[in-house]
Amino acid sequence: MQFHAESWYGCPFRPYFEPQVTNNPKFAGQVACTQELFGECRRYAVYAIHTRFDRVEWVVRDAELVDPVTGGSAIIRQEDTKSAAISGLWE
Torsional sign, CA 20, 54, 77, 84: positive
What's the CA gap between 87 and 6, in Å, rounded?
33
Q: Does residue 80 belong to any structural domain of this protein?
A: yes
Q: Does residue 91 belong to any structural domain of this protein?
A: no
CB 17 within 8 A of CB 33: no
- Report helix, strand or coil for 86: helix
pLDDT at 17: 53
Q: What is the pLDDT along the chain (91 residues), one digit of tens a residue?
A: 444 444 444 444 444 556 689 999 999 999 999 999 999 899 999 999 999 999 999 999 999 999 999 999 999 999 999 999 999 986 5
What's the CA gap between 79 and 63, in Å, rounded?
18
Q: Does residue 44 belong to any structural domain of this protein?
A: yes
Q: Does residue 58 belong to any structural domain of this protein?
A: yes
pLDDT at 59: 97
pLDDT at 81: 92
Q: Count structural domains, the chain.
A: 1
Angle at 16 between CA 15 and CA 18, to 5 degrees: 155
Q: Does residue 36 belong to any structural domain of this protein?
A: yes
Q: Could you tell me whether strands 36-38 and 44-49 are parallel, antiparallel, or unpaired per DSSP bridges?
A: antiparallel
Please give the residue range of the domain that contains residue 80.
5-86
pLDDT at 20: 84
Q: Does residue 48 belong to any structural domain of this protein?
A: yes
